A = this chain, B = another copy of it.
């Protein structure tokens, strides 16, 4: 059944979860699609429609239990478990990612890091040792990690991504400003500040 949910709906669930977790942290026990919508900038109707695809989460008139909805969304998104991450590219951005506490607090643990600079290999970054790219396939396969964060230069991104897939990686969070061309069953999300900035300059011109 989950297979039939449109990807655009799936993409909104983490945003609902982020707001609901914030409510929970601030002691808010119940909420409405109206209130949730206002905190995110999505219409209440859209939220009700999105959630209804996964089940019945609230009662008409009494709203949603924040705790229950957090639990359900964590379960739907499979983040009620811990995930191993592989980091490829330990430049300035990779260093920031390796030391960012937000990952581990949300159940994502960097277990391996790779860089092609011999001066970096063998050094520690965050909790892990940086390995050379030549060890990538073997180390990742051994770890069983399924998710990689790619923070290499744009020109290297496609080749590295292909090697990641050979190593067993199924999902790539791509920080390189480069569209990747990969098999359809590989999940790729992009974090490119330029496309986000250009989206906003449209309105500022």
Contact = CB atoms under 8 A, between A and B. Distances in A.
A85 to B, nearest CB: 8
Q: Which of A41, A79, A177, A195: most chain B Cβ within 10 A?
A: A195
Contact of A199 (B11, B83, B106, B193): B11
Would you call the interface of chain A mostly helix, strand, loop, or mixed?
helix
Interface residues of A, number: 61
Contacts of A93: 93, 96, 100
A60 B39 CA distance: 45
Given A92-B95, A93-B96, A200 B187 contact: yes
A40 interface: yes
Interface in A167-195: 170-171, 173, 177-179, 181, 187, 189-195
Given A96-B96, A170-B204, A194 B78 contact: no
